Structure 1
Amino acid sequence: MEHAVVLFTQDLRLHDHPALTAALRDGRRVLPVFVLDPVLLGRSARNRVRALPGILRGLRGDLRARGGDLVVRRGDTAAEVAALAAEAGARSVHLTEGVSRAAVRREERLRAVGLRVVSHPGLTVVPPGDVTPAGGDHYKVFTPYLRAWEAHPWRAVLPAPGAVPVPGGVDPGEIPARLDEGRGQAAERPITLGEEAARRRLRAWLDGGLAHYAQRHDDLPAGATSHLSADLRMGCLSALEAATLARDEPGGAEFVRQLAWRDFHHQVTAAFPDIAVRDYRPRGTRWRDDPAALEAWKEGRTGVPIVDAGMRQLLSEGFMHNRTRMITAAFLTRTLGIDWRAGAGHFADHLLDGDVANNHGNWQWVAGTGNDTRPNRAFNPLRQARRFDPEGVYVRRYVPELAGLPGRAAHTPWDSLPPGADYPPPIASPGT
């Protein structure tokens, strides 16, 4: 019986893994593989690269507990998979279908080296392309997409396999202790990633925070979101499983709606793979070139506390609350007039959960070049701060220079700080 390679990419788990399940069907032996491709690693956020060895060690341990293993190689993905397939006597490779240009090219190159490539769902709740509008290849506006998404049947969540038989004689290779040497500043307090940690977080979320999500998800001091985004990004957790478990629970509808937004951006990116480099809806915007302002924004030294708090949370945790992602992106693009690509690139360098579809889709939405039906909407950072951090708790948490200011004074420190205080004046007017 023919063996098969299972190429792990953005699906570093065993639960609800359609590619692995299909490859194991009919008692077939499989060769689970992960390739440390220098090209892809070079484009990845430093915090994800830092977390990757630990995730791979956990995945290898889970596979070994089922009689299998994870074969790890370093090099060009297509070349390494082709060599392993020849060594194991395999002619096909199963993988989870991606939407980025890199994912599409990976499949093309695997076919070019003579392998039969079988792609499977697993990245989203509803696969891109499964729901399309009449006369179009994808939905450009979220609300009609949501209606179609909600009406579309979901596939069944798959259990983790009980056994993973593998071909003999293949050296599994070493998982490096570190991959982030020379990658610059990494987060001081990143979360622990891996399937086991992801499933613990999911269970805690379902048992605790989900019921209050609709009322508290924009509460900046509480941080009352699921914190599952990095687990979904790395594929340590299935979006479909999370949605299936949450949808009928109190608070589940609003949380599942956010997963629909994630799917929305993936189906946009599948149809428009240049989303990271070109305006989805060009509107002739003329961006300013201001390196000093861009650097102040990256460092969290703009003098606008809510912006600086978000940017410093990103640097310290590799994560930022979604509300402050919108606030900081709007300040860069709408207040400073700096190109969204500069901001999206900085986020991509640091976010544990950053991927091409969601990171760049959301940046274009805020910048007015993407899928927002109101591209000129106002986004005042001070009003946002007063609404979602009314007592300045979030700001003081991440901007310690303002720790001594009471309540709302933390949002307008230029009215309260003494001369010479170690906090800059605003580099641009944040509004009133």
Structure 2
Amino acid sequence: MTRTTRTARTSSPASPRIAVALFTSDLRVHDQPVLRSALHGADEVVPLFVLDDGVRRAGFTAPNRRAFLADCLAGLDAALRERGGRLVLRTGEVVDEVARLVTETGATAVHVAGGVSGYAQRREERLRKALAAQGCELTVHDAVITVVPPGAEVPSGAGRDHFAVFTPYLRRWEAVKLRTVLGAPRAVRVPEWVAGDPLPSRDAVADTSPGLARGGEKAARKRLSAWLADGVSGYEDRHDDLPGDATSRLSPFLHFGALSPLEAVHRARRKADAGAEAFVRQLAWRDFHHQVLAARPAVARADYRDRHDRWRTDTREIEAWKAGRTGFPVVDAAMRQLAHEGWMHNRGRLLVASFLTKTLYVDWRIGARHFLSLLVDGDLANNQLNWQWAAGTGTDTRPNRILNPLAQAKRFDPHGDYVRRWVPELASLPGSAVHQPWHLAGPDRARLDYPDPIVDLAEARARFLSSRP
């Protein structure tokens, strides 16, 4: 689905028709409707990416994502050069830079993927107005960063603009006829005289996580193929296995659009097994959160469902949570994985979010900001709405559920291998004893450089249930 604004423009019959393919969160050449449509309607195309000053000012340019973005831009540029083209990079306000490029080139059309955040929606509207003033056509492609366009192909009925509950959304989502996956273009002709800024370098980004993965479309496609060949079939049974690390780890590539979520669904469905179905369901969850944010942009900051919470602000407890020093080993292991890799296992995310918002009764926005400061897949829709789900202010139909970290550890890390991997001061403890090191006595306890629990679980549970109105 596309949305096109057309305005009259005159140009010399001898001049080549030039279009701009504006890349945002879709840094790939495979299954790329923006690039393919731009190529179809023009003689030459300018593949453009703008390092957005607005995104930087909003605080969304964390080091891990800047480094991963540099990988993705380098990969996109390489893929375009293999096809005779190149990526043109500009720095500044997106609307200003696109308008400037249209003036420089005489471009008659701009193509871009539709976004879902309030910022992306406002940027699109400003771009529409600026291009209309220049007599340039803007086409917005809605099925690029998600499998199904938010709100367009899965109407909620009853006059609502989105689904508030996942299960009915999933039923409608699964019934949608998906578009065909687009192949990568064979050739991309770019005007030789169009100038751009040097591409950013991953090595120039300071303060990245030591174990940060490499980005780019080539790495994304290699990981997807390996996952579908060897990992996805066991996903239904093992997706919560903390030490087994049996998830796809595709979320960073999906966030930057180095991998098409629609292509991932098409390829997974060919497997036709329970693991592939479970994996596709996670991609539907991703779309679900995007359609909520598209309809309710304010939930990036405000409660989707206000519970009138009186959040606590114990700085000592918050800092212990961030540092992975809460005294609850499975919580600390997950937080240390986040610091080291810029990524965290999904079960770990649910566990540490529940611990912060319900056991410590701290505002979910504090946790969401910390995650966005480190997560390489720090997607606004998924991050904010998953945090609200855990806090009980979002779409969860059981808003007061509390995940007990000891019960969760016993179930999802029964032998303590995940904890031993990320909390080395406990690595010598045998078996599941690693989850309750404070039970040790005498010299054994004294030798551990590990804190006592910062909170009593029973007291914390009672406090939460009595505090939430």
Query: Shorter-chain-normalised TM-score: which range?
Result: over 0.9
Q: Partner of 2:319 in structure 1? A: 295
Q: Which runs of 5+ in 1 are unaligned?
A: none
Deviates more, 1:98-107 or 1:172-181: 172-181
Contact 1:46 1:180 in 2 (8 A): no
Q: CA deviation at 1:74?
A: 1.1
Structure 2 distance, partners of 1:44, 1:355, is 12
* Correspondence 1:427 to 2:449: no
Q: CA deviation at 1:302?
A: 0.7
Deviates more, 1:76-85 or 1:33-42: 33-42
Structure 1 distance, partners of 2:98, 2:41, is 22
Deviations 1:261-299 (A, max 9, x none): 000000000001112210001111110011111111111
Deviates more, 1:72-81 or 1:363-372: 72-81
Q: Which of the numbers 36, 46, 49 marks the counterpart of 2:66?
A: 49
Structure 1 distance, partners of 2:457, 2:210, is 29
Q: Which of the numbers 9, 16, 32 marks the counterpart of 2:47?
A: 32
Write out aligned runs for 1:151-300 (5 A).
151-178=175-202, 181=205, 185-249=207-271, 250=273, 251-300=275-324
Contact 1:333 1:367 in 2 (8 A): yes
TM-score (structure 1 length as normaliser): 0.97
Let me know the Cα RMSD of the aligned residues: 1.5
Contact 2:150 2:294 in 1 (8 A): yes
Deviations 1:186-228 (A, max 9, x none): 2111111100000000000011001111111111111000111
Q: CA deviation at 1:84?
A: 1.1
> Which residue identity does 1:421 align to in structure 2?
L
Q: CA deviation at 1:419?
A: 2.4
* Correspondence 1:69 to 2:105: no
Structure 2 distance, partners of 1:91, 1:291, is 55
Deviations 1:80-124 (A, max 9, x none): 111111111113211111101121122122123225321112111
Q: CA deviation at 1:139?
A: 0.4
Q: Which of the numbers 359, 362, 367 marks the counterpart of 1:343?
A: 367
Q: Which of the numbers 397, 400, 404 marks the counterpart of 2:428?
A: 404
Contact 2:19 2:41 in 1 (8 A): no
Structure 1 distance, partners of 2:203, 2:427, is 36
Structure 1 distance, partners of 2:350, 2:357, is 10
Could you say what secondary structure the match of 1:90 adopts?
coil
Structure 2 distance, partners of 1:336, 1:420, is 28
Could you say what secondary structure the match of 1:128 adopts?
coil
* Correspondence 1:133 to 2:167: no
Deviates more, 1:171-180 or 1:262-271: 171-180
Q: CA deviation at 1:180?
A: 6.4
Q: CA deviation at 1:39?
A: 2.8
* Correspondence 1:117 to 2:122: no
Q: Which runs of 5+ in 2 are unaligned?
A: 1-15, 462-469
Structure 1 distance, partners of 2:263, 2:236, is 20
Contact 2:74 2:199 in 1 (8 A): yes
Q: CA deviation at 1:179?
A: 8.3
Q: Which runs of 4+ in 1 moved over 3 A?
A: 178-182
Write out aligned runs for 1:263-412 (5 A).
263-412=287-436
Could you say what secondary structure the match of 1:201 adopts?
helix
* Correspondence 1:5 to 2:27: no
* Higher CA-based Rg: 2
> Which residue identity does 1:201 align to in structure 2?
R
Q: Which of the numbers 144, 150, 153 marks the counterpart of 2:168?
A: 144
Alpha-carbon distance change, 207 to 322 in structure 1, aligned in 2, over 3 angstroms: same
Could you say what secondary structure the match of 2:300 adopts?
coil
Q: CA deviation at 1:172?
A: 3.2
Contact 1:186 1:315 in 2 (8 A): no
Q: CA deviation at 1:54?
A: 2.2
Structure 2 distance, partners of 1:227, 1:178, is 20
> Which residue identity does 2:117 align to in structure 1?
S
> Which residue identity does 1:271 align to in structure 2?
A
Could you say what secondary structure the match of 1:418 adopts?
helix
Contact 2:321 2:332 in 1 (8 A): yes
Deviations 1:141-169 (A, max 9, x none): 00000000011111111111111112231
Could you say what secondary structure the match of 1:161 adopts?
coil
| Aligned pairs, number | 430
Q: CA deviation at 1:27?
A: 4.8
Deviates more, 1:320-329 or 1:132-141: 132-141
> Which residue identity does 2:128 align to in structure 1?
R
Q: CA deviation at 1:378?
A: 2.7
